[in-house]
Chains A and B, each alone.
Chain A
Amino acid sequence: EAQVTQNPRYLITVTGKKLTVTCSQNMNHEYMSWYRQDPGLGLRQIYYSMNVEVTDKGDVPEGYKVSRKEKRNFPLILESPSPNQTSLYFCASRGLAGGDTQYFGPGTRLTVL
């Protein structure tokens, strides 16, 4: 089954404690992306990756890092989380052929105390 998986699904942590949210896709997609969703603000792109070792900033990259060492994985790293990073996070992937669409993961709800 084609899918994007994220782990963990729920996480409560404290300010300053480094964390990583994993994202994996099994569709051999080149493009992967991270979004955060906050009430009233819709989905905002954090980082995206066009392929292995190719990443770029989205609209709200501050406080986040990503890496793309393998095609299927695109982890999101918060080196020093802060309460304003409390949010619902989605990973997505997509092929680059004309007409391809994004497949989204189930989401990770992060609370930073």
Chain B
Amino acid sequence: LAKTTQPISMDSYEGQEVNITCSHNNIATNDYITWYQQFPSQGPRFIIQGYKTKVTNEVASLFIPADRKSSTLSLPRVSLSDTAVYYCLVERNTGFQKLVFGTGTRLLVSP
């Protein structure tokens, strides 16, 4: 199953747009890309998922190029409450279901 690589940490300020890129070179045809957000001592929670091109919901956008070997999570106008760890995960919805989380990206938003 495709492993992912993300930056260890990122810093930003309130009101800025934050883009976190994830590399997943070995992604397979039937794999989806999912991003999760985790606050300290809480379980990860779903942010957004996509298969190709662009997906947008009320909290984020996800950009996936045609080769699908990377993806970028975009958080518009971050606030202090967006300080968290963000995980990119490649998930397959059929067959083999062993999942490998990376170490995630620790985002710190400052005033």
Residue count of chain A within 8 Å CB distance of chain B: 31
Q: Does B13 contact A (CB under 8 A)?
A: no
Chain B residue nearest in CB terms to A56: B98
- A contact patch SS: strand
A113 to chain B, nearest CB (A): 20
Which among B43, B97, B104 has the highest number of chain A CB atoms within 10 Å?
Answer: B43
A45 to chain B, nearest CB (A): 5
- B contact patch SS: loop
- Size category of the binding interface on chain B: 20 to 34
Chain B residues in the interface with A (C-beta under 8 A): 32, 34, 36, 41-46, 49, 87, 91, 93-94, 97-104
Chain A residues in the interface with B (C-beta under 8 A): 4, 31, 33, 35, 40-45, 48, 50, 56, 58-59, 88, 90, 92, 96-107, 109
Q: A43-B87, A96-B94 are in contact. List 11 more A-B contacts (CB 8 A).
A: A31-B97, A35-B101, A48-B98, A48-B99, A58-B98, A58-B99, A90-B44, A96-B93, A98-B93, A99-B93, A102-B44
